């Protein structure tokens, strides 16, 4: 059973009605595709893919450059749509959606040929042997995406998938079908051949059908719960998968932090995208040495944030994107307050605005018995914990099932790197938050329950290819020494060889 906000879906007509969560006005409608629709699309993708894979990197890159040009020409229209569909400020749509995509398009269009170049080498022990590793498209790949960055997350994966020579089937979130369709429209306008990128709108049932279809690999970004369901389904048919899941990202503020930068970073990291970022600051640990001054400054800055509807008032923080998120955020804050936490600012829904608005909230006196410290809140809530020292901060930061990103704030970069090495997260940023998702060349991945596999960078690109290894002799020989017939002499010779190679350190001489 797949549930979502009742006002979004008209199940009877199998149609999504996308609404603006800030104003509750309708943004558009899109069909909920069935398993039969999905299977037809996959068949179309499979027949179109070989011709696409046969193009050179340069030829495929031309489509990316064209799509990038169109994106930059149509920035306002695209940002306006994103802003209306998820309730975020236009500046966030520009910074968090358009700019990163332009960067990813440019990077993978230029670099894919180099990043996927064949690797050839002579073997170290088997000196008469050479190997070549080459990288080939996986085939037809499925991308299932969330609603919080409805344009940049899926488009980044689409770009990598296409540049690697795959046909792509994209299932956008049921909360953001119009942004998903816009991605298809952009590539169509760039002249992409028919069937190479298909956008399959729908809900969880459409996503589940895609996972069960004849695709070759699935790339999922979303919640841990759905990620586990997808992993189970993929495992049943041994289909490879990449999972980019939730986070409970810790910010560690050391006693010697660059004070004002840390204050600004904490407030932006906690409240940008209304806190609905997998890598937003979800927990903050501050050294007691600067705690009081730091918390006061964070609260002052948070109070200055303008919450509102884009286009109607100047705003820094938009609305939450759906009713489910508003419910989770409200529950987490109420649970924390009931268990002794104190809201220094914020703490409740804004009822003077029509949509799903919640006050930017700073909580203190929080502890690990509270949901806000254990579960992903994904909203405008910043719980702050005062710690004795860095060692305690690291211990507390690691007390989580999640491990996506973390940040360490100190003027001493060397010390920052030492702390970063001990924090259990895919990425730890020193004196910054979150932004590396927008940098094409850096890998993005989670440890623990935050994910499996990588996106972005050459490591992410390589998730979209299948390796092929070919091995051959440099000089032809009638036989290999380890082939038949065996003898006592052969046994002694190999014993000696093992010592020469691996014990006496003579490997470099042969
Ligand atoms: P979600 O898991 O509810 O849905 C994600 C997508 O999965 C949607 O398109 C949905 O329709 C689809 N889906 C639902 N059930 C499915 C099923 N059984 N089979 C196949 N597909 C199915 O997540 P969400 O609420 O859209 O997104 C928020 C979550 O995403 C948060 O946990 C956030 O941290 C995470 N996220 C992670 C990253 C990252 O890079 N690690 C980035 C953004 C968001």
| Residue pLDDT, tens place only, 59-76 | 999 999 999 999 999 999
Question: What mean pLDDT comes out for the span 314-341?
Answer: 97
In short, whether 154's Cβ falls inside 6 Å of ligand 1 is no
Cα separation, 204 vs 175, in Å, equals 11
Tell me how far the alpha carbon of residue 206 lies from the centroid of ligand 1, in angstroms.
13
The protein residue with its alpha carbon nearest to ligand 1, atom 39, reads 244
Residue 493, token pair as written in the block: 């010779």
Residue in 364, 398, 402, 400 with CA at minimum distance from that of residue 383: 364
The protein residue with its alpha carbon nearest to ligand 1, atom 18, reads 208
Query: Residue 237 half-sphere exposure, CB side, CA atoms within 13 Å?
Result: 13
Residue 52 pLDDT > 80: yes
Residue 385 pLDDT > 90: yes
- Across the strands, what pairs with 136? 466
In short, whether 5's Cβ falls inside 6 Å of ligand 1 is no
Tell me how far the alpha carbon of residue 246 lies from the centroid of ligand 1, in angstroms.
9
Contact between residue 90 and residue 84 where contact means Cβ atoms under 8 Å apart: no
Which ligand 1 atom minimizes the distance to the CA of 2?
15
Contact between residue 175 and residue 46 where contact means Cβ atoms under 8 Å apart: no
Task: State the burial class of residue 54 (Cβ atoms within 10 Å of its Cβ: 0-12, 13-18, 19+).
Answer: exposed
Each residue of 173-200: b (16+ CB within 10 Å) or e?
A: bbbbbbbbbbbbebbbebebeebbbbbb
Residue 11's pLDDT band (cuts 50, 70, 90): low
Tell me how far the alpha carbon of residue 293 lies from the centroid of ligand 1, in angstroms.
38
Tell me how far the alpha carbon of residue 479 lies from the centroid of ligand 1, in angstroms.
55
In short, whether 363's Cβ falls inside 6 Å of ligand 1 is no
pLDDT (0 to 100) of residue 7? 44
In short, whether 379's Cβ falls inside 6 Å of ligand 1 is no
Active site residues: 244, 278
Residue 53 pLDDT > 70: yes
pLDDT tens-digit series, residues 439-467: 999 999 999 999 999 999 999 999 999 99
pLDDT (0 to 100) of residue 508? 57
| Model confidence, pTM | 0.96
């Amino acid at each position: 059973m797949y549930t979502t906000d009742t006002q979004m879906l008209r199940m009877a007509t199998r149609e999504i009605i996308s609404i603006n969560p800030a104003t509750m006005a309708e943004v558009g409608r899109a069909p909920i595709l069935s398993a039969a629709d999905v299977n037809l699309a996959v068949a179309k993708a499979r027949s179109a893919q070989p011709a696409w894979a046969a193009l050179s990197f340069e030829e495929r890159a031309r489509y990316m450059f064209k799509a990038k040009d169109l994106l930059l020409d149509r920035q306002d229209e695209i940002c306006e749509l994103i802003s209306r569909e998820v309730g975020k400020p236009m500046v966030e749509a520009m910074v968090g959606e358009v700019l990163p995509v332009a960067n990813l398009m440019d990077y993978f269009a230029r670099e894919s040929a180099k990043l996927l170049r064949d690797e050839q080498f002579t073997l170290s022990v088997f000196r008469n042997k050479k190997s070549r590793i080459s990288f080939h498209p996986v085939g037809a790949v499925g991308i299932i995406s969330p609603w919080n960055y409805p344009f940049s997350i899926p488009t980044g994966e689409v770009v990598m998938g296409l540049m690697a020579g795959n046909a792509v089937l994209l299932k956008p979130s049921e909360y953001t079908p119009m942004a998903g369709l816009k991605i298809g429209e952009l590539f169509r306008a760039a002249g992409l051949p028919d069937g190479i990128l298909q956008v399959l709108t729908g809900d969880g049932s459409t996503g589940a059908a895609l996972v069960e279809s004849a695709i070759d690999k699935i790339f999922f970004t979303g919640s841990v719960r759905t990620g586990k369901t997808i992993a189970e389904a993929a495992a049943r048919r041994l289909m490879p998968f990449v999972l980019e899941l939730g986070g409970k990202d810790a910010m560690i503020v050391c006693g010697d932090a660059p004070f004002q930068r840390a204050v600004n970073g904490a407030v932006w990291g906690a409240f940008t995208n209304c806190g609905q970022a997998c890598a937003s600051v979800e927990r903050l640990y501050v050294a007691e040495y600067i705690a009081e001054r730091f918390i006061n400054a964070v609260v002052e800055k948070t109070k200055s944030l303008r919450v509102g509807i884009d286009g109607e008032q100047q705003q820094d923080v938009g609305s939450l994107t759906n009713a489910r998120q508003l419910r989770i955020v409200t529950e987490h804050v109420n649970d924390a307050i009931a268990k002794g936490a104190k809201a220094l600012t914020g703490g409740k829904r804004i009822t003077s605005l029509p949509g799903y608005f919640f006050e930017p909230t700073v909580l203190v006196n929080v502890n690990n018995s509270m949901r806000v410290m254990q579960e992903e809140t994904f909203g405008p809530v910043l719980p702050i914990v005062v710690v004795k020292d860095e060692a305690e901060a690291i211990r507390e930061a690691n007390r989580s099932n999640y491990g996506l990103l973390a940040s360490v704030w100190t003027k001493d970069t060397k010390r920052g790197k030492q702390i970063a090495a001990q924090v259990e997260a895919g990425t730890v940023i020193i004196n910054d938050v979150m932004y590396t998702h927008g940098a094409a060349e850096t890998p993005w991945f989670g440890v623990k329950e935050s994910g499996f596999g990588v996106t972005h960078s050459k490591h992410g690109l390589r998730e979209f290819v299948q390796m092929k290894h070919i091995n051959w002799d440099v000089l032809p020989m009638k036989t290999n020494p380890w082939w038949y017939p065996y003898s006592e002499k052969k046994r002694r010779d190999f014993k000696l060889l093992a010592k020469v190679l691996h014990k006496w350190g003579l490997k470099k001489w042969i």
